Every structure is written in structure tokens, then in C-alpha cells.
């Protein structure tokens, strides 16, 4: 009978190890992790039987499957808790070498699992195994962001799809799917891993079919030159499911990057188009020259003229009247994608609009010279024609330059320069008078980089002292004075310069205190 019991016990022990092996293989996690989860489950069941206040540990022999239960007791001089502590006298009765702070293990009989205890143990094991599985998924995919993965649709939830990747699950949210794209359970799907993050519940791996890099990776799979880095994909802009633009550059001058990406009879680009449900792709040659790249990006529209503003990252593009709708595209799609591709803000004008605007600017500037310099219209127009746009330019231009204008002589040049300087002096005097009226202090006037116009603007906005100015943040100053061409770096430097006197005031008392202390020390020494 005893032999029979021993055999049954052995079978149970071996069965425990077999279960651990099976779970580890199925979930793709370490066997030790499953065994550890079983130990925790047994510990929890034992505590519910012997008392939750006890520190009960369980060990499973990884070879034999034998379960050992024991209670841990800490050796203490003064016992405060009988459940977790034992006196030094009792400890030395069990182990003569016991010292305060040692841990003694007291063996316990095996636990006979009841229905509730077994259910609890199962929950613990399932939870621990799930946590280990999620950790394994995270570790496996955290370095695979940016890759393309293939999987099978496992289920569809509220428009999002759960994808089985073999050893992991991922999700493609509804907004990361192409418009009008639908998948059924069992369909094969290809997507881009754009994020992997630790989550307590729900998916950890996030896939996308609308991400610009998904298209770039598809081209890398279809075009060997891209995979080998002979051709680089410098930028991608997508309107998912509708149209896309991709900027390509060849490191080998003998290889045409656009032709290589298109392929023989369009075979390479067509493979990408088919994967993206018919999304039209414009392949554009990238250029280090911003103007050239922007002109290429606006294809198929023809461009006649461009005007760049590099500081504002803005470009004005002039197209023929009949090319306007083509340049803008349906619902502004073409110009929007070109802007995303190049990183520039693009304004599109027709030749007629540009001509009209240029004429209007010419009239306004001519009239400004007529009014301020008290000259006739012809002289004002001649100044604008020669490229003069501001009174300052006339005032400080070399007389030889003014005299060189057709129809001008030295006398006229001198008179124009003199009138321009007089106008600027009068304007400066009026601004200074207005500054004083507003109560803007001379300290603020002394700040480098601020002119009279700026000071008046500050005064009108109740910024009148150096402290008022120093209290401003960089973005607040830009909001007030940005129209005068003030940059972010300049604004921050001016504010820091204005705050310098705060720190000077702080240092003075310290120095004087230090000086008085040293004086006192000297007196004591004497």
C-alpha cells in the first residue's frame, strides 16, 4: 500500500513538471518562470490555510518535482510577532549556532488543495504566466520598431484588428488602417511596427499601414538599390489610401533614383501600389537646393518662378494661370503633400496675381518715397526701380550710388540723402517724445537691440521699466516685437541681459557681509 502511495505521489510530481514544460513551450517563456509561478500559487494557498500573517515559502525541485513547504522565522532578542519571529533562546534549541537576524526554516506538511485554494492557485499561475509572456513580447519587439511584420488577423474589435504574429499579438487601430480597407479573420496582413510599449493590459505592439515609413520600407523590400543604401529615401508624405509623394536620392551618379524605384514597366512601384490598395505614388528626385526640390515636388504642375524666405521657411511659387488647379490639386492635396515632403510652407500664385501684387507694391513704395521725401512721382518710381524699399536705404546709401541712377546727378543725390536723413531724425525725435510721454525709462532705452519704435510699442503695452522687461518670457517678447524682425535667440539674449542687475543686487549684500565678517575677525585678532 505504501509503495502504491509513493508511486501515485511520484506520478503527481512528474505531472507537475510536465505541465510546467508544456506551458513554457506553448507561451514561449522560460520553464523556470512557470515553476516560480507555481511556487507562488502554492505559497498563497498555504498562507490561506496556515494564516496570512505567516511568512510561508514553497520550493519545487526542478528535477524530481518534489514540493517543500516551510515557514520562515527571524531570530530576534525581543519577539513582537510570534508568526514571523522567534526568540534567540528557542532558536538555539533548534540550532546552537543561531544568531540575531538569522532566518530559521520550519518544515510544514504538504497542503491538501481544496476547491477554492486550487482556483486561487490557478489564477496566480495564469497571471504570472501572462505577465512573463507580455514581458517576453516586449523584449522581443522593443528593438524592432520601424520593421515590417506579417501576421494573420486573429479577431476584429470595433474596427481595429488584432494580428497574430506567431509568438506575439499586435493591434492595428482603425485610424492606422487605410480608408475603405477591411480585413476578416484569417486574412494575412502586412504592417509597420511604429510603437512598442509596456502596458498593464491590452496590446503592447502597435502596427500601422498609414505611417509614411511603411511606404519607405515597402520600397526597400521591392527596390534592391534602396535596401543596399545606393538610393536613399529622404522624405515621404502620404494622404493614406489616396496619394503619396516620396523624395529619393542616388549616391551613385550613374543610377537614376526615380527610374530604379519605378522599375521595368513600373513593376516595382506597382507592387507597392497594390499593397497600399491603389494609392497613387509620385516619385520625386530629391535635391539639396530647396527651390529645385520644391519645384520637383509640385509635379506634375509647371512652375515659372519661386521666391524663397529662408528665415520663415516659406516659399512663393508662381505658376501659369492654366496650371493653378493642377498645382493645388484636389482639395489642396498636391500642394499639401509637397509642403509635407519638403518641410516648407508653400504659397501658390498665378502669373496674373503675382504681376498685380508686384504692381501694387511698386505703387505703394513709390508713393511712400513721394510723401516722405517730397519729390515727384517719377523720382519715387526711379528709386523703387533701382531696388530701394526703405527710407533708411536712401539716407545711408553712398552718394555715388544714388548719382549713378539714370537721370540723377550729384546735386539731386545729395538733396535726396539730406531729405531722407532729416525725415529719419524727425521721426526719431517724435518717437523719443512719445516714449517719454508713455513713461518708458531711460534704463530700458539703454538696452542693446531696442530701437525707438520698439520702445514705444513696449510702452503702449505697459512695459515701461527694466524690471517689467526682465519679467517677460521669450515668447511674450516675440509676440510684441516679432513684427520688427526680432528672432527667438535675440529675444532671449536681451531678456537675460535685462535680468543681469537682479543678480548684481544679490551679490552685494554677501560681499559686504563677508567684508564686515573679515573686519570683525581682524579686530578680534588685534
Q: Is residue 327 part of a domain?
A: no
Q: Is residue 264 part of a domain?
A: no
pLDDT at 505: 53
Helix (H) or strand (E) holding 326, with range, is: helix 324-328
The answer on pLDDT for 67 being more than 80 is no
Q: How far apart are CA 125 and CA 42, in angstroms?
A: 10
**Cβ partners under 8 Å of residue 51, min gap 6:** 83
**Cβ partners under 8 Å of residue 180, min gap 6:** 241, 277
Percent of the chain clearing pLDDT 70 (strictly above): 83
Cell numbers for 515: 567684508
Q: Is residue 110 domain-shared with residue 159, that is, in the same domain?
A: no
DSSP readout, 360-397?
Answer: HHHHHHHHHHHHHHT--HHHHHHHHHTT--SHHHHHHS
Q: Is residue 57 domain-shared with residue 166, that is, in the same domain?
A: no
Q: Is residue 254 part of a domain?
A: no
Answer with the one of 208, 242, 257 that is the final residue of a domain: 208
Q: Is residue 73 part of a domain?
A: yes
Q: Is residue 20 domain-shared with residue 114, that is, in the same domain?
A: yes
Rounded to an integer, the average pLDDT of 474-501 is 77
Q: Is residue 124 part of a domain?
A: yes
- Whose cell is 503675382? That residue is 354
- Mind listing the pLDDT tens digit for each residue in 391-422? 777 777 777 777 777 777 777 777 788 888 88
Q: How far apart are CA 350 and CA 356, in angstroms?
A: 10
The CATH number of whichever domain residue 21 belongs to comes to 3.30.1480.10
Range of the domain at 181: 142-208
pLDDT at 65: 67
Answer with the one of 185, 208, 231 that is the final residue of a domain: 208
The CATH number of whichever domain residue 447 belongs to comes to 1.10.150.20
Range from 18-32, 136-150, 409-423 carrying the lowest mean pLDDT: 18-32
The answer on pLDDT for 60 being more than 50 is yes
pLDDT at 179: 85
Q: Is residue 450 part of a domain?
A: yes
User: Mean pLDDT across the chain, nearest whole number?
Assistant: 77
Domain count of the fold of the chain: 3
Rounded to an integer, the average pLDDT of 38-46 is 75
Q: Rounded to the nearest 5°, which phi and psi values hold at 305?
A: -160, 145
- Mind listing the pLDDT tens digit for each residue in 305-339? 888 877 778 888 888 888 888 888 888 888 889 88
Q: Is residue 104 domain-shared with residue 204, that is, in the same domain?
A: no
**Closest residue by Cα to residue 284 from 271, 301, 267, 307:** 301
Q: What CA–CA distances, in Å, run from 184 to 151, 156, 160, 191?
A: 13, 7, 11, 15
- Mind listing the pLDDT tens digit for each residue in 349-405? 888 887 888 888 888 888 887 778 777 778 778 877 877 778 777 777 777 777 777
Q: Is residue 63 domain-shared with residue 182, that is, in the same domain?
A: no
Range from 67-71, 100-104, 117-121, 373-377 carrying the lowest mean pLDDT: 117-121
Q: Is residue 9 domain-shared with residue 81, that is, in the same domain?
A: yes
- Mind listing the pLDDT tens digit for each residue in 83-98? 677 777 777 777 777 7
Task: Name the H helices within 198-266.
Answer: 212-222, 224-227, 257-262
Answer with the one of 104, 130, 156 that is the final residue of a domain: 130
Per-residue pLDDT band for 428 (boundaries 50, 70, 90) equals: confident
DSSP readout, 143-208?
Answer: T-TT-EEEEEEEEEETTEEEEE-SS-EEEE-GGGSPTT----TT-EEEEEEEEE---SSS--EEEE
Amino acid at each position: 500500500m505504501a509503495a502504491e502511495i509513493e508511486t501515485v505521489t511520484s506520478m503527481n510530481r512528474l505531472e507537475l513538471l510536465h505541465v510546467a514544460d508544456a506551458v513554457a513551450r506553448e507561451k514561449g517563456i522560460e520553464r523556470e518562470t512557470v515553476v516560480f509561478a507555481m511556487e507562488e500559487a502554492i505559497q498563497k494557498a498555504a498562507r490561506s490555510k496556515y494564516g496570512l500573517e505567516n511568512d510561508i515559502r514553497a520550493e519545487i525541485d526542478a528535477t524530481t518535482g518534489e514540493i517543500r513547504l516551510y515557514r520562515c522565522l527571524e531570530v530576534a532578542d525581543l519577539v513582537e510577532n510570534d508568526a514571523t519571529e522567534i526568540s534567540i533562546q528557542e532558536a538555539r534549541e533548534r540550532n546552537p549556532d543561531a544568531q540575531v537576524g538569522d532566518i530559521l526554516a520550519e518544515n510544514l506538511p504538504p497542503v491538501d488543495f481544496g476547491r477554492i485554494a486550487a482556483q486561487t492557485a490557478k489564477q496566480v499561475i495564469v497571471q504570472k504566466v501572462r505577465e512573463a509572456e507580455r514581458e517576453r513580447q516586449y523584449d522581443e519587439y522593443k528593438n524592432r520598431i520601424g520593421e515590417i511584420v506579417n501576421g494573420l488577423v486573429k479577431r476584429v474589435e470595433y474596427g481595429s484588428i488584432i494580428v497574430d504574429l506567431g509568438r506575439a499579438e499586435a493591434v492595428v487601430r482603425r485610424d492606422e488602417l487605410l480608408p475603405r480597407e477591411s480585413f476578416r479573420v484569417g486574412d494575412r496582413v502586412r504592417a509597420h511596427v511604429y510603437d512598442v510599449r509596456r502596458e498593464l493590459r491590452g496590446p503592447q505592439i502597435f502596427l500601422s499601414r498609414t505611417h509614411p515609413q511603411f511606404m519607405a520600407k515597402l520600397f526597400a523590400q521591392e527596390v534592391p538599390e534602396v535596401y543596399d543604401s545606393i538610393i536613399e529615401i529622404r522624405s515621404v508624405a502620404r494622404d493614406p489610401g489616396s496619394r503619396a509623394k516620396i523624395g529619393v536620392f542616388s549616391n551613385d551618379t550613374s543610377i537614376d533614383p526615380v527610374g530604379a524605384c519605378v522599375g521595368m514597366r513600373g513593376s516595382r512601384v506597382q507592387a507597392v501600389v497594390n499593397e497600399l490598395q491603389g494609392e497613387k505614388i509620385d516619385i520625386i528626385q530629391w535635391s539639396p537646393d530647396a527651390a529645385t526640390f520644391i519645384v520637383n515636388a509640385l509635379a506634375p504642375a509647371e512652375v515659372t518662378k519661386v521666391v524663397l524666405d529662408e528665415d520663415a521657411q516659406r516659399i512663393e511659387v508662381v505658376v501659369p494661370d492654366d496650371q493653378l488647379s493642377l498645382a493645388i490639386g484636389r482639395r489642396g492635396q498636391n500642394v499639401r503633400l509637397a509642403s509635407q515632403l519638403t518641410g516648407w510652407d508653400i504659397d501658390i500664385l498665378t502669373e496674373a496675381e503675382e504681376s498685380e501684387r508686384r504692381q501694387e507694391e511698386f505703387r505703394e513704395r513709390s508713393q511712400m518715397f513721394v510723401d516722405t521725401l517730397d519729390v515727384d512721382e517719377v523720382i519715387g518710381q526711379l528709386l523703387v526701380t533701382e531696388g530701394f524699399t526703405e527710407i533708411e536705404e536712401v539716407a545711408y546709401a553712398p552718394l555715388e550710388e544714388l548719382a549713378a541712377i539714370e537721370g540723377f546727378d550729384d546735386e539731386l543725390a545729395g538733396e535726396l540723402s539730406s531729405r531722407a536723413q532729416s525725415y529719419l531724425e524727425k521721426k526719431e525725435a517724435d518717437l523719443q517724445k512719445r516714449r517719454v510721454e508713455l513713461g518708458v525709462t531711460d534704463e530700458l532705452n539703454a538696452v542693446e537691440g531696442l530701437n525707438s519704435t520698439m520702445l514705444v510699442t513696449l510702452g503702449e503695452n505697459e512695459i515701461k521699466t527694466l524690471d517689467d522687461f526682465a519679467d517677460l518670457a521669450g515668447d511674450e517678447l516675440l509676440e510684441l516685437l516679432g513684427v520688427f524682425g526680432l528672432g527667438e535667440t535675440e529675444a532671449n539674449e536681451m531678456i537675460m541681459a535685462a535680468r543681469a542687475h537682479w543678480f548684481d543686487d544679490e551679490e552685494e549684500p554677501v560681499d559686504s557681509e563677508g567684508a564686515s565678517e573679515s573686519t570683525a575677525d581682524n579686530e578680534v585678532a588685534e
